[in-house]
Structure 1
Amino acid sequence: MEHPDDLLEEFAFGDRPDVGPHVAACSRCAAHVSLAQQAADWLASSHSAPPPAPLRSRVLAAAVGVRPPSPGPAFSAYVSQAADFEVLLDSLSPAQWSLSTADGRTVEDLVLHLAGNDGNVLADLGSPVPPARRARDLWRDQSDQLMRTVGRAEESLLSRPVRLAGRTPMRRPLREAMMQRAFETWIHRDDIRAAVALPPVAPEPSHLARIVDFGLALLPGAMDAAGRGRPGAVQLFLTGPRSASHVVPLSSSCAASSPSLAQVEIPADRFGRLMAGRVPVTSSVAVIDGSRSAALDLLTVAATLGCE
Structure 2
Amino acid sequence: MDVHDEVLDLIGAWALDACDPDEAAGVDAHLSGCATCAAEARRLRAAAGWLAADRVMPAPPALRHRVLATAQAARPAALMRTLVGAYAGQADLLDRLLGAVRADDWARPDPRHETVGGVVAHLAGNDAMLAADLGLAVVPLPDGPAEEVHAAWREQSRVIVEGLARRDDGLEQRVRLAHTGPPPLRPLREALVQRAFETWTHLDDIGAVVGRGTTTPPPEQVRRIVDLAAALLPGALSGAEVGTVRLVLEGTGGGEWTLPCGPGDDTTIYADAVEFTRLVANRRGAHSLTHSATGSPAVSTRVLHVAATLGCD
TM-score w.r.t. length of structure 1: 0.71
Residue 211 in 1 paired to residue 225 in 2?
A: yes
Kindly provide the amino acid, as one letter, of the partner of residue 310 in structure 2.
Answer: L
Change (3 A) 1:123 1:242: closer
Paired residue type of 1:209: R
Which residue matches 1:111?
120
Structure 1 residue 137, shift from structure 2 partner: 0.3
Counterpart Cα distance in 2 of 1:209 and 1:87: 25
Alpha-carbon RMSD: 2.4
Larger C-alpha radius of gyration, 1 or 2?
A: 1
Match of 1:85, SS state, is: helix
Name 1:95's counterpart in structure 2. Answer: 104
Q: Does 1:295 align with 2:300?
A: yes
Q: Given the alignment, which residue of 162, 166, 176 partners 1:163?
A: 176
For 1:177 and 1:184, the matched residues in 2 are separated by 10
- Cα distance in 1 for residues equivalent to 2:215 and 2:281: 14
Q: CA deviation at 1:289?
A: 2.2
Residue 278 of structure 1 deviates from its aligned partner by 0.7
Partner of 1:128: 137
In 2, the alpha carbon distance for the partners of 1:135 and 1:86 equals 12
The Cα shift of 1:171 comes to 1.2
Taking the TM superposition and a 5 Å limit, the aligned residue runs for 1:37-186 are: 69-70=77-78, 71-103=80-112, 105-133=114-142, 134-155=148-169, 157-166=170-179, 167-186=181-200
Quickly say closer, same or farther: Cα 1:72–1:214, change in 2 above 3 A.
Answer: farther
Deviation at 1:147, TM superposition (A): 0.2
Cα deviation, 1:149-180, whole Å, max 9, x if unaligned, reads 1111232x332211110123211121211111
1:218-258 C-alpha deviation (Å, 9 max, x unpaired): 1000111xx5x21511221111033211112224xx6xxx8
**Counterpart of 1:271?**
276
Change over 3 Å in CA distance of 1:266–1:159 after alignment to 2: same
Distance in 2 between residues matched to 1:223 and 1:147, nearest whole Å: 33
In the alignment, structure 1 segments of 5+ residues that lack a partner are 1-58
Distance 1:148 1:201 in 2: 25
Hey, what does 1:247 align to over in structure 2? 258
Gapped regions of structure 2 (runs ≥ 5):
8-21, 27-74, 143-147
2:248 counterpart of 1:237:
yes
**Cα separation, partners in 2 of 1:104 and 1:237, compared to 1, 3 Å:** same
d(CA) in 1 for partners of 2:136 and 2:191? 15
SS across alignment from 2:136: coil
Amino acid at match of 1:94: A
Secondary structure of the residue aligned to 1:144 is helix
2:258 counterpart SS class: strand
8 Å CA contact retained: 2:221, 2:253: no
- How far does residue 284 in structure 1 lie from its aligned partner after superposition? 5.9
Indicate the percent of aligned positions where both proteins have the same amino acid: 38
Aligned AA (2:237): M
Report the residue type matching 1:299 in the other structure: L
Provide the rounded CA distance (Å) in 1 between the counterparts of 2:194 and 2:246: 23
The answer to whether the Cα contact below 8 Å between 2:275 and 2:289 also exists between their aligned partners in 1 is: no
Question: Could you tell me how far apart the structure 2 residues matched to 1:283 and 1:235 are?
Answer: 20
Paired with 1:276 and 1:169, the residues of 2 have a C-alpha distance of 16
Q: 1:201 aligned to 2:215?
A: yes
Match of 2:38 in 1: none
Inter-partner Cα distance in structure 2 for 1:75 and 1:230: 37
Report what 1:51 is aligned to. Answer: none
Cα distance, 1:185 vs structure 2 = 0.5
Q: Structure 1: how far apart are the matches of 2:139 and 2:268?
A: 47
Cα 1:270–1:231 change in 2 (3 A) is closer
In the superposition, relative to structure 1, how do residues 284 and 151 fare at CA in structure 2: closer, same or farther (>3 Å)? Answer: closer
Q: How big is the shift at 1:102?
A: 2.9
